[in-house]
């Protein structure tokens, strides 16, 4: 991956940028034919909102609830695999994606697959994405000054943060969708674990919920990140805090993003939950 020039690392599919090596066009095309199963659990998140955190939590909840490990893709994104790879996984599968909800294969909606969505405030998401882009060889390296306007205008892999947030807000009352936020999980992880477990139909004991929460703190997950995520472990589990944006945004950038946020998400219930 290091040998690919920065300007060739991303490409557009249906107008949206994707990392070329991980999400080749044939995979994205083939996604349309993916067959969901009723007992799949789908984790959906805009990049850098806490996908890997929730993947760990969901795996542990499913394992505790079923008494056996679920089948997951490694790395766990549908976009990285063709449908044949997905087909061979035994049920119940834990599947993940970063796609905009309108681009999720239709079968997940017709089968009413349970979807857990994690969202995060836009400023910390942007900062996390900036560091990730510099730390992950399949993405271009760049300065904050060049990355920030791209994030604001949605010209980053998987598209606009605001478009994703707006589209998920419209699904907030869908009984097959549970939206959790990074900030709420930081505030009370065991409550989040309890909520997700009951949404998925598992009745876990208090002790199980406690254990899952203790094993899913940032510190606990960072400690095991080399074995769970290989050499990029430290890039995936970077800082794990709310408010790191204050170390990167200028006052002008902060105000500009506040204006973009109000313009696009004011009055939405999801927007009201994305505190920063």
Residues that bind ligand A3P (CB under 6 A): 45, 47-53, 124, 128, 131, 216-218, 221, 236-240, 244
The answer to whether the CB of 26 falls within 8 A of the CB of 47 is no
Nearer to ligand A3P, 176 or 228 (CB): 228
Nearer to ligand A3P, 25 or 215 (CB): 215
User: CB burial class (10 A; 0-12, 13-18, 19+) of residue 120?
Assistant: buried
The answer to whether the CB of 195 falls within 8 A of the CB of 202 is no
Nearer to ligand A3P, 30 or 208 (CB): 208
- Whether 100 is catalytic: no
Nearer to ligand A3P, 194 or 238 (CB): 238
Query: What is the DSSP code (8-state) at residue 82?
Result: -
Query: Catalytic: which of 98, 100, 164, 229?
Result: 98
Q: Collapse the DSSP code of 233 into the 3-class scheme (helix H, G, I; strand E, B; otherwise coil) and give the result.
A: helix
d(CA 19, CA 263): 29
Give 141's Cβ-side CA count (13 Å radius): 8
Q: How far is the CB of 129 from ligand A3P (least distance, A)?
A: 8
Q: How far is the CB of 241 from ligand A3P (least distance, A)?
A: 6
Q: How far is the CB of 242 from ligand A3P (least distance, A)?
A: 9
Q: How far is the CB of 256 from ligand A3P (least distance, A)?
A: 20
Catalytic residues: 98
């Amino acid at each position: 991956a290091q040998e690919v020039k920065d300007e060739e690392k991303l490409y557009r599919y249906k107008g949206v940028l994707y990392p070329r090596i991980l999400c080749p066009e044939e995979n994205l095309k083939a996604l349309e034919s993916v067959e969901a199963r009723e007992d799949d659990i789908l984790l959906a998140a805009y990049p850098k909102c806490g996908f890997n955190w929730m993947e760990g939590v969901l795996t542990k909840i499913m394992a505790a609830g079923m008494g056996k490990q679920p089948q997951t893709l490694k790395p766990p994104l549908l976009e990285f695999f063709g449908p044949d790879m997905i087909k061979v996984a035994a049920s119940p599968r834990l599947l993940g994606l970063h796609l905009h909800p309108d681009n999720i294969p239709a079968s997940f909606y017709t089968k009413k697959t349970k979807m857990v969505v994690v969202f995060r405030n836009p400023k910390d998401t942007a900062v996390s994405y900036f560091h990730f882009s510099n730390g992950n060889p399949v993405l271009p390296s760049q300065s904050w000054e060049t990355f920030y306007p791209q994030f604001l205008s949605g010209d980053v892999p998987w598209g606009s943060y605001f478009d994703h947030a707006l589209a998920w807000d419209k699904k907030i009352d869908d009984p097959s969708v549970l939206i959790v936020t990074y900030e709420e999980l930081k505030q009370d992880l065991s409550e989040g674990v309890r909520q997700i477990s009951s949404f998925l139909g598992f009745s876990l004991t208090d002790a199980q919920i406690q254990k899952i929460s203790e094993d899913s703190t940032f510190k606990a997950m960072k400690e095991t990140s080399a074995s769970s995520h290989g050499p990029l472990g430290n890039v995936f589990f970077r800082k794990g805090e709310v408010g790191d944006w204050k170390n990167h945004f200028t006052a002008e950038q902060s105000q500009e993003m506040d204006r973009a946020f109000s313009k696009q998400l004011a009055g939405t219930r999801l927007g009201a939950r994305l505190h920063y």
